[in-house]
Structure 1
Amino acid sequence: MLGGIAAGGTVTARESATRYIVDLKSNARLGKVDVVHDLSQVGLAVVEGQERDVRRLGTYAPDIEMQLDLPAVEHIDTTAVAGYDDPLYGLQWDKQAMDMPDVHDMCKGEGARIAIIDSGIDASHEDLNVNVGESKNFTGDGLGKGVPAGGYHGTHVAGIAAATTNNELGVVGVAPEAELVDCRVFSTGPGASFADILAAIVYAADIGSDVANLSLGAYPVPRSDLAQFYGTILNRTMTWANSQGTLLVISAGNDAADLQHDGSFISLPNEGAQALSVAATGPIGFGWDAGEKTAPAYSPSVYTNYGTNAVTLGAPGGDYDIDAYLADLPGWWYDLVLSTVPGGYGWAAGTSMAAPQVAGAVALLKGEDSSLNANQVESILTRTAWMPEDYDKAYYGAGFLNPYGALKEIGL
């Protein structure tokens, strides 16, 4: 078993000297450049070539690389606990807090499709159902698809959303009968190309994904003329995906930042148009003695970004007590989120873990009623969320995720 803790996300952006994102003129001819991603659905192209040739095509800017801090890991042991016949369910405080047994008595997301835009999913994991045929590697690294080439993060995210149930293995996902599609935008290095992320969003919508989960981001991004270009094309791409029926669920970030009052900075892509931005909650003292520091599963996580108009929902992402962590007190890791990792199972905490809880809830609704569009699904989730007492609304947006209430809202 692997366990880990999410550190605050320090993000940097590095411009590419050879790759550009172009907002194409109507009469643009791409003959003198190499096209990396044809995003004509949204009037864009990602190209490689000489800047003088790119200039003729339209407004452009260099591609940028997003750097993300990922959780650390360590070895711990666990034991089988009754619940489902999935032996680790008893350690999943996140699923217990959302009444998953009652939810799954109503539906399990059959027929829904979840795109995971991340570091890659281990499609060989016995607890995951990955459509490798529809999966795609956007990085150009030649390492294939349905593989965790960018690290364990994408596999962990995938399991939170849709690990299978009642298979005598591991953990329970929110939508265990939904189909996962691996859209890998991270390679062996720590960065992901902004252009590759745009391409993955367009692809997820093109293949009919009901929801795309993006547990990634860049913050702080200064509000400058260049940032306005990136923001404009991001908003256009996200709005188009939403219009195609693909709801974009995005982590709010792990900087403990007030996104509502951060002045001249923005957070991308979770502050983009049509984003369903998710903040993290978590317990202190689940399965171990935290003394007077005990907190419920719906309490805001110490690291989560927040902001009344910058967050749509709060959802279980895990928390930790820093003193217990530094002292390595037995059981502190139980407050993190347990999910799949390549070759096994592990704990991690972050808004990266909160977002797929919501993505799974989207899949539950779409699996039950495929006629719902993206805006209708988001409306149902926000209407049925509940607001914890004694906590600041800025950490929740509309409230704490309530899959059971959402399914009841559509008549189950």
Structure 2
Amino acid sequence: MTEHDRRTFLKLSGTVLGGIAVGSTVVAGTRTDRHIVETKGRRTPEGFEVVHEMPGVKFSVVRAEASELASSKAVKNHAPDLEIRLNAPDVNESVPAFDADEYEGQPGDFLQWDKDDLNVPEAHETTEGEGTRVSVIDSGVLETHPDLAGPLNLDLSRNFTDDGGDHNPVGGDDHGTHVAGIVAADNGGGAGVNGTAPKTDLVDCRVFSGAQASFADILAAVVYSANVDADVANLSLGAYPVPRQGEGDFYGKVLNSTMTYANREGTLLVVAAGNDSADLQHDGGVISLPNEGAQALSVAATGPRGYGWDADGDGETTDLVAPPESPAFYTNYGTNAITLAAPGGDAVQKVIGTGVPWFNDLVFNTVFEYVDTDGDGEPDTRVPGYGWKAGTSMAAPNVAGAAALVKSTNPNYNANQIESALKRAASVPDGYDKAYYGAGYLDVVDAL
């Protein structure tokens, strides 16, 4: 399948299920045991188990059946909680990884084209994110990773799911660990990888239990991020296509209220735009959430093709078929739906499996492998490592890290001022369609 054919296919792949959607990015369905409720007069509903109180907004999450909520005098409106399944671009399934021991001794910028193209080393001559706080609302951050143990705030990190665990990832899901590394990896004492803001205070908000996330848990994590004074919250997650009418209208109302509260409290919400190759500007009657929610800084993905391998067959590995600022094949787009574009990784799909290092075009950062260390045939240990992933999930934390740098150099800036600085510094690359960039391609140094 050519990249053009794939784009057409992905744009047509979404179907509605239970008020939200099944698509190439998420699968979602409703829960019958938990509801998001709009309360009257900011009262917490009595007589129900409150899962998330969400102080600051007029919504709560309770464990109850719909019939039980109908008679409550404290409930104005309600809808079932949603379960969301996150899927990354298919190219992520075929990439290698190093464990930390194999990688030991490599220079910190090894294979990190994204940090090089963004001139992050130059930005670090001004600030590394000191005095800021970034929350990562995702699948959990591995606290034993040598590049993340320093920036990670264990006291504030939380598990928002009901699986009984702590903030660390469940099973082998290293998505959040990779995202956190893009924001704040501190180079593990000289042998690891770099994040954009390695001296920020990193807060892990785990909302995924394995591959599943609850919409209500995500909302609660956004409110929590604001209430612990996070300057930036990164959400590399999303649901698309969500109908604008019916229950979709209620979910949008809840999301907008929550996001507006966070913004008002000073937390900039940086959100992945999604990996459906969808034109969000002209998709009529549906919406992508949370990146099209109120106050979201929506991020599209870019990436090189041919980084460190001979993509054009001329025998040279130093030239590129496409530069790092070119739009990735999978990224969502739309002139008024995208705020900024940033490195998220790209791929030449036809060469996957041919033996060339095509994965160099993806984003390289912190991961882990879930391995069997006791010989019983079942994985039981998360071994820190380094590897590649692509997606708007990787583009968003590049922006979140940059936002932390802007806040560090301008401590009095509110969320809107941080976003404005990033937008003013960005520009659309010559010869490319503005629909993929919004204000433009991230420029970290000029934003400072």
TM-score where L is the length of structure 2: 0.85
User: What does residue 321 of structure 1 align with?
Assistant: 348
Residue 119 of structure 1 contacts residue 149 of structure 1 at CA under 8 Å; is this kept in 2? no
Structure 1 spans left out of the alignment, 5+ residues = 1-6, 408-412
User: What does residue 17 of structure 1 align with?
Assistant: 32
User: What does residue 316 of structure 2 align with?
Assistant: none
SS of the aligned residue for 2:56 comes to helix
CA distance in 2, matches of 1:32, 1:397: 47
Q: Please, which moves more after superposition, 387-396 or 7-16?
A: 7-16
CA shift digits 1:316-341 (9 cap, x unpaired): 0000001111x433110100000001
User: What does residue 389 of structure 2 align with?
Assistant: 348
CA shift digits 1:99-120 (9 cap, x unpaired): 1121111110011111000000
User: What does residue 4 of structure 1 align with?
Assistant: none
State the Cα distance separating 1:370 from its structure 2 match: 1.6
CA distance in 2, matches of 1:150, 1:195: 23
CA distance in 2, matches of 1:151, 1:50: 31
Q: Please, which moves more after superposition, 210-219 or 32-41?
A: 32-41
**What is the total number of aligned residue pairs between the two structures?**
395
SS of the aligned residue for 2:196 comes to coil
Residue 130 of structure 1 contacts residue 146 of structure 1 at CA under 8 Å; is this kept in 2? no
User: What does residue 3 of structure 1 align with?
Assistant: none
Q: Does 2:173 align with 1:151?
A: yes
User: What does residue 302 of structure 1 align with?
Assistant: 329
| Counterpart residue identity of residue 98, structure 1 | L
Residue 11 of structure 1 contacts residue 68 of structure 1 at CA under 8 Å; is this kept in 2? yes
User: What does residue 193 of structure 1 align with?
Assistant: 214
Relative distance call for 1:29 and 1:143 in structure 2 (3 A) is closer
State the Cα distance separating 1:265 from its structure 2 match: 1.1
User: What does residue 402 of structure 2 align with?
Assistant: 361
Q: Please, which moves more after superposition, 391-400 or 24-33?
A: 24-33
User: What does residue 107 of structure 1 align with?
Assistant: 127
CA distance in 2, matches of 1:333, 1:38: 43
State the Cα distance separating 1:76 from its structure 2 match: 5.4
| Counterpart residue identity of residue 45, structure 2 | L
Q: Does 2:277 align with 1:226?
A: no
Q: Please, which moves more after superposition, 8-17 or 221-230?
A: 8-17
Q: Give the one of 76, 93, 106 matched to 1:58.
A: 76
CA distance in 1, matches of 2:264, 2:239: 24
Relative distance call for 1:78 and 1:331 in structure 2 (3 A) is farther
Q: Alignment RMSD, CA only?
A: 2.0
CA shift digits 1:125-172 (9 cap, x unpaired): 110121011001000211112445571000000000111148212111
State the Cα distance separating 1:29 from its structure 2 match: 5.9
Residue 109 of structure 2 contacts residue 193 of structure 2 at CA under 8 Å; is this kept in 1? yes
Q: Does 2:35 align with 1:33?
A: no
Residue 108 of structure 2 contacts residue 187 of structure 2 at CA under 8 Å; is this kept in 1? no
Structure 2 spans left out of the alignment, 5+ residues = 1-8, 11-23, 314-319, 369-383
Q: Percent identity?
A: 53
CA shift digits 1:164-212 (9 cap, x unpaired): 1482121111111111110000012x22100000000000000000100
SS of the aligned residue for 2:60 comes to strand
User: What does residue 244 of structure 1 align with?
Assistant: 265
Relative distance call for 1:148 and 1:178 in structure 2 (3 A) is farther
Q: Does 2:90 align with 1:75?
A: no
Q: Does 2:157 align with 1:116?
A: no
SS of the aligned residue for 1:347 comes to strand
Relative distance call for 1:111 and 1:149 in structure 2 (3 A) is farther
| Counterpart residue identity of residue 190, structure 2 | E
CA distance in 1, matches of 2:81, 2:99: 44
| Counterpart residue identity of residue 65, structure 2 | Q
| Counterpart residue identity of residue 157, structure 1 | V
CA shift digits 1:288-324 (9 cap, x unpaired): 0000771000000000000000000000000000111
| Counterpart residue identity of residue 51, structure 2 | V
User: What does residue 125 of structure 1 align with?
Assistant: 145
CA distance in 1, matches of 2:399, 2:43: 40
Q: Does 2:308 align with 1:287?
A: yes
State the Cα distance separating 1:397 from its structure 2 match: 0.2
CA distance in 2, matches of 1:316, 1:41: 34
Q: Please, which moves more after superposition, 90-99 or 140-149?
A: 140-149
State the Cα distance separating 1:53 from its structure 2 match: 2.8
CA shift digits 1:208-233 (9 cap, x unpaired): 00100000000111222110000011
State the Cα distance separating 1:67 from its structure 2 match: 1.5
Relative distance call for 1:29 and 1:268 in structure 2 (3 A) is closer
CA distance in 1, matches of 2:297, 2:97: 34
Residue 17 of structure 1 contacts residue 62 of structure 1 at CA under 8 Å; is this kept in 2? yes
Residue 42 of structure 2 contacts residue 58 of structure 2 at CA under 8 Å; is this kept in 1? no
CA shift digits 1:359-401 (9 cap, x unpaired): 0001111122221000000000000002101110000000000
Q: Does 2:161 align with 1:139?
A: yes
Q: Please, which moves more after superposition, 151-160 or 52-61?
A: 52-61
Residue 251 of structure 1 contacts residue 352 of structure 1 at CA under 8 Å; is this kept in 2? yes
Q: Please, which moves more after superposition, 311-320 or 175-184?
A: 175-184
Residue 122 of structure 1 contacts residue 147 of structure 1 at CA under 8 Å; is this kept in 2? yes
State the Cα distance separating 1:27 from its structure 2 match: 7.5
SS of the aligned residue for 2:134 comes to strand
CA distance in 1, matches of 2:168, 2:130: 21
Residue 98 of structure 2 contacts residue 387 of structure 2 at CA under 8 Å; is this kept in 1? no
CA distance in 1, matches of 2:137, 2:66: 29
User: What does residue 376 of structure 2 align with?
Assistant: none
State the Cα distance separating 1:275 from its structure 2 match: 0.1
Residue 133 of structure 2 contacts residue 203 of structure 2 at CA under 8 Å; is this kept in 1? yes
| Counterpart residue identity of residue 41, structure 1 | G
CA distance in 2, matches of 1:338, 1:174: 13
Residue 301 of structure 1 contacts residue 318 of structure 1 at CA under 8 Å; is this kept in 2? yes
CA distance in 2, matches of 1:196, 1:229: 16
Relative distance call for 1:204 and 1:298 in structure 2 (3 A) is same
Q: Please, which moves more after superposition, 223-232 or 288-297?
A: 288-297
SS of the aligned residue for 2:435 comes to helix
CA shift digits 1:223-267 (9 cap, x unpaired): 221100000110010000000000000000000000000011110
User: What does residue 45 of structure 1 align with?
Assistant: 60
State the Cα distance separating 1:11 from its structure 2 match: 2.0
Residue 136 of structure 2 contacts residue 205 of structure 2 at CA under 8 Å; is this kept in 1? yes
